[in-house]
Amino acid sequence: MLLVTGAYFPEFSAGGLQSRAVAALLRDRVQFHVLTTATTAALPRHATVDGIDVTRVYVRIGSRVSALVASWRMLVALLRVLPHVDAVHIQGYSSKNIVVMAMCRLFGRPVVVHLQTSKHDEPATVAAQGGLATWAYGSAAAYISVSPGLAARYLEAGLPAGRIREIPNGVDATRFTPASAAARQDARRRLSLPEAGPVILFVGVMSPDKQPHVLFEAWLRMRESGVAATVVFVGASNPELYELGDRIADRLRAAAAAAGGGGDVRFVMPTSEIADYFRAADVFAMPSAREGLPIVLLEAMACGLPSVASRLPGSTDSMIESGINGILVPPGDVAALADALTQLIGQPERASAMGAAARRTVEGRYTMEHVAEQWLDTYQQLATR
């Protein structure tokens, strides 16, 4: 199998993280090769990650010349790899799908497209990019949707129902585990976080869609009402990335300082040690405006953290039963988010019960082993068509 991703370790993307984890679990039964774009020029063009060959194509975000060069290098890489694979698995939709799909047609290789991101991977968004994009999107032999919402958008577009199956994202439930009180304190010391007082965790790029400003405003509201807490934002804040738009982290940092609580708001760049931050936290907050099936929420749930997330139909409401294994609030509702966080901080027994229920949810539906078997079943079906 050739896995085509938008980023791969050590860079981060939802599709890349899932691909790496599944490839590690299936490598005794499936021979994988990874073809990925990369935004870090220093990364080697060819490498081995976890025993799997990885080919990287560098692209500079926002540069048309770089995009054209990257398309050519993608074409060359496909010419080299496609004769030696049985099928291709593309994570999400981007302009490179046109090149990949055309080459797969030339070599007679079936393609499965993995729908990961709400709106971005939906048929209507792709159709707005023109005829070639629509052709590439609709020409796959099979589709995987990570959520009911993405599957619904696919079917509403009139695409073949027999080609799509819903397979959720998965989480490594052995790496992301509930922390004891002692382990939480140890994690806080290592991460230089306050050893006393509640810690609220946010994980995600500092982009408008992830709405970190909503959490920040909820934290301000809590602070004004006498509820003290440290909020930790873990995620990319580089404004050169296309999805960040402006310097959200800089604005929030300045606003925290102006409010006199600069030390209670922390900003951390993406890290491979993210499990430590989950262990150090008391509550997880995900105020996003849109999501596919958020991996960070699964990681929090696997760690037994009580979570407050935006209610996103066909996404978070398929993961969380509000009041049982977490709390769902309207997207963008600062007051509701602040109230829910205040409840969990002030009711530790209720918070603990929700966290335990969240862990059971992950164990029952979202382990990486379960997801890997479903990927393998899709590959086997593809091979028999």
CA distances from 76 to 22, 32, 46, 87, 163 (A): 26, 18, 13, 17, 29
Dihedral, 117, 123, 129, 135 alpha carbons, nearest 10:
120
CA distances from 383 to 108, 151, 312 (A): 12, 23, 35
Cβ pair 256, 222 in contact under 8 A:
no
Instruction: Please give the angle made by the CA atoms of 375, 377 and 380, to the nearest 5 degrees.
Output: 110
Phi, psi of 173 (to 5 degrees): -75, -5
Phi, psi of 364 (to 5 degrees): -85, -25
What 3-state DSSP class applies to 163? helix
Task: Give me the amino acid identity at 254.
Answer: A
At residue 246, the pLDDT reads 53
At residue 348, the pLDDT reads 94
CATH class of 2-170+368-383: alpha beta
At residue 243, the pLDDT reads 47
Same fold, 2-170+368-383 and 181-365: yes
> At 49, which helix (H) or strand (E)?
strand 46-49
Q: What are the residue boundaries of the structural domains of the chain, listed by start?
A: 2-170+368-383, 181-365
What 3-state DSSP class applies to 308? strand
At residue 148, the pLDDT reads 97
Helices 212-224 + 248-258 axis angle, to 10: 10
Cβ pair 377, 166 in contact under 8 A:
no
Helices (H), 27-95: 64-81
Instruction: Please give the angle made by the CA atoms of 94, 330 and 119, to the nearest 5 degrees.
Output: 15
Q: Tens place of pLDDT for every residue, the chain, 385 residues?
A: 999 999 999 998 889 999 999 999 999 999 999 999 999 999 999 999 999 999 999 998 878 899 899 999 999 999 999 999 999 999 999 989 999 999 999 999 999 999 999 999 999 999 999 999 999 999 999 999 999 999 999 999 999 999 999 999 999 999 999 999 999 999 999 999 999 999 999 999 888 899 999 999 999 999 999 999 999 999 876 655 544 445 788 888 888 888 877 789 999 988 888 999 999 999 999 999 999 999 999 999 999 999 999 999 999 999 999 999 999 999 999 999 999 999 999 999 999 999 999 999 999 999 999 999 999 999 999 877 6
Task: For residue 284, give the nearest of 269, 270, 302 by alpha carbon.
Answer: 302
- Which residue is associated with the tokens 């998965």? 170
Cβ pair 307, 285 in contact under 8 A:
yes
Instruction: Please give the angle made by the CA atoms of 382, 384 and 385, to the nearest 5 degrees.
Output: 70
At residue 242, the pLDDT reads 44
Task: For residue 294, give the nearest of 312, 321, 270 by alpha carbon.
Answer: 312
Instruction: Please give the angle made by the CA atoms of 187, 269 and 358, to the nearest 5 degrees.
Output: 55
- CATH architecture designation of domain 181-365: 3-Layer(aba) Sandwich (3.40)
- Structure token digits, residue 225: 């009402």
Phi, psi of 5 (to 5 degrees): -130, 165
At residue 248, the pLDDT reads 82
pTM for the model stands at 0.92
Respond yes or no on whether the N-terminal peptide bond of residue 10 is cis (omega within 30° of 0).
yes
> How crowded is residue 364: how many other Cβ atoms within 10 Å of its Cβ?
9
At residue 210, the pLDDT reads 93
